[in-house]
Amino acid sequence: MKKYYSFWLFLLFAGNLLAQHNVRFTVENATDFEGVTPVFVRVQTARGTQIYRSDKPVFSLALQGDVDVSVAARGMEPVFGRYHIDSDMHLGFLLDVPRRELHGRKDLLMNARVQDAMTLDAVPSGQVRLTVGKQTWRFPFTNGRFVLTRARWQQIFSKLDPFADVSYEITAPGYRPLRISDRVPLAYTVKAFRLVPVDMPAIPQAGRISSVPAEIQDAFRSVDRRLASRPSTTTSCDRMPGWIRVGIQCSCNDCNSVQTMGLETYVRQGLNDEWIASWDNESLKAGSLPYRTYGAYYVYHPIRSNYDISSTTCKQVWDSDYANSCVSAAQDTQGEYVETPGGAVAFSEYSAENNCLNSSACSCGNGYSGNGSDWPCIYDPVCAGHDRYGHGRGMCQWGSQRWASQRNKDYTWITDHYYNPGNIFRCGTNHGHPDLGMTNGSISSQNLTVNQNFSVSFTVVNNSSYRSDKNRAAAYLSTDDQFDSNDTELGDVTLWPIDAGSSSDKTLNLQVPNVSGGNYYVLVVADPDGEMYETDETNNTLVFPVTVSTTAVGTSQLEGLVDIYPNPVHRVLIVKVHDGAGLQKMLLLNRLGQQVMHFDGGTRRLDLSALSAGVYFLQLYLTDGRQGVFRVMKD
């Protein structure tokens, strides 16, 4: 009976592991927020690849586990995302075109759509209520369209702070009220409001297909090519990822849903959420570089498994509306970003007001950005007299507008002005690069045994005139003296930024893996992942030839031939050899593999009283070539 009971428990457990979850897809056009149809979805899992088609922009699929999802439609750029599906969830995809043609009526400031959240169809009629402070305005809408003229907006918002919040309440028969807050739109803005119906409709399932249109096949191939091409380690200005997964409906960094889109779409839609859309074009272009770079940084350093970045002030604000002025600025700088001297995507911080007027906030003084501690003082006279609003690092947002509108500076000058003193540079500019070299290498022992602990020490030198990035150094076991991806990593250590001409001393404590005996090399490599672009990529490796024995602790060739006691030992350890075996020598090693004592073959009583308490390894060599390692505990 117990066997059958266990069998059914196993089936129940396996069924739970294989349970499919309902994933709702929403696929929309980034230009007008209308639903995209037909839409094609490629789902790749460890079990294979399936392609689906839906003639509705909102549909569902039953998925489970780790999935790679590619979404494509005719005439639009495909989008890719990687997710772990362990519950029902919603995935949104925002499809775009390579370059948008911008249109807009000059008399309009807001052009909004009111849509059914479950179908993306237009909501027939309803009312929009705007509240600013204690004042409220009401406007009807029909056929899912809501527009406001510049004259009407000017009447409402003429005296408002550009950062003031506007509360929207949208109501319509058969739908739940929608209440949201947003900033005052100061330039032509396209927006969508999504209402949830009271009676929730059934979400259709996408159908699996075997015949895929040639245009869609090409789109999926373009995704594969993009995924297969890794950023170069020898060329600058090629580090932008193709896509970004944005967490939405968030509480700080904890988000309930995901919107996936191209990185350039993210910048086009989001720049107006961090910069003021009515600002000078050069200010907006300057802002697009750190906005794009900050998003890309989190693609490479995602905050959660299913999304890279949150859409809140805890990371970088984003929502799906857009201002034409910001789309134009983003398209003018497409692909441009800021990088570290090592060519890595920079952590491109910025804040609203960086002036150091308040002496308690920093030591730079009035007329200077930065804080003098984790960001340098930067002469910034256009910001003199303004109070700091933010952390003061990186680009000053209001400063970018003042330099553009008051001093006629272009976006390249503004970007260099705020980032170069902090060792961050526009990609492609001739700013110099670091050069890490390895010197003073030593290894605790070149005769090693499987599972033995040993150590390597070394010095990393920055030979260039430019500071290096934060990076790492790692040790590998290799069958030859050339570092490659087939080598076995043994351990690593963080390399903090090294100033020009300076060095950093490091030690790695390692253990020999379970390999067959023979001759190997221990390689110690700076920047093993090739994240930094260096002026010399050939001097990053130290090489130590080693011999590895397969005699491991606990599986000694001397089992039954040698006894050691007492163990743990307080003072004298006795070594007893049986069957006339000849003892050649004994080495006592510490946990790092370093030799601490040596005994010849005639010694049978080992005085360990001078050693501190801890774990040691006694390596014995017999005259017939056999050897073994015994673990010794000193109390």
CA dist., res. 414 & res. 396, Å (int): 9
According to the model, what pLDDT value does residue 5 have? Answer: 47
In DSSP terms, which residues pair with 455 in a beta bridge? 509
The sign one gets for the Cα dihedral 566, 569, 572, 575 is positive
The matching CATH number, chosen from 2.30.30.140, 3.40.228.10, 2.60.40.10, 1.10.10.410, for 436-549 is 2.60.40.10
Phi, psi torsion values for 43, nearest 5 degrees: -115, 120
Q: Are 604 and 575 in contact (CB under 8 A)?
A: yes
Whether residue 356 has pLDDT greater than 80: yes
Percentage of the chain surpassing pLDDT 70?
93
> 32: Cβ–Cβ under 8 A, 6 or more apart, which residues?
113, 190
CA dist., res. 203 & res. 172, Å (int): 21
If we measure between CA atoms, which residue out of 353, 192, 183, 190 comes closest to residue 276? 183
Q: Are 296 and 321 in contact (CB under 8 A)?
A: no
- Of 21-30, 119-128, 206-215, 463-472, which gets the smallest average pLDDT? 463-472
CA 536 to chain centre: 27
Whether residue 141 has pLDDT greater than 50: yes
> 362: Cβ–Cβ under 8 A, 6 or more apart, which residues?
356, 370, 371, 372, 373, 377, 388, 392
Whether residue 18 has pLDDT greater than 70: no
Confidence of residue 45 (pLDDT cuts 50, 70, 90): very high
According to the model, what pLDDT value does residue 14 have? Answer: 44
> Is-same-fold flag (108-195; 436-549)?
yes
**Does domain 562-634 fall into CATH 2.60.40.10?**
yes
**Domain spans in the chain, listed from the N-terminal domain onward:** 21-98+205-332, 108-195, 338-426, 436-549, 562-634
Confidence of residue 236 (pLDDT cuts 50, 70, 90): low
For 32-46, what is the mean pLDDT?
Answer: 96
pLDDT tens, position by position, 404-436: 999 999 999 999 999 999 989 999 887 778 899
The fold adopted by the segment(s) 108-195 is Immunoglobulin-like (2.60.40)
Q: Are 604 and 633 in contact (CB under 8 A)?
A: no
According to the model, what pLDDT value does residue 161 have? Answer: 66
pTM for this prediction: 0.75
The fold adopted by the segment(s) 21-98+205-332 is Immunoglobulin-like (2.60.40)
pLDDT tens, position by position, 552-598: 555 456 777 888 888 888 899 988 888 777 888 889 888 666 788 98
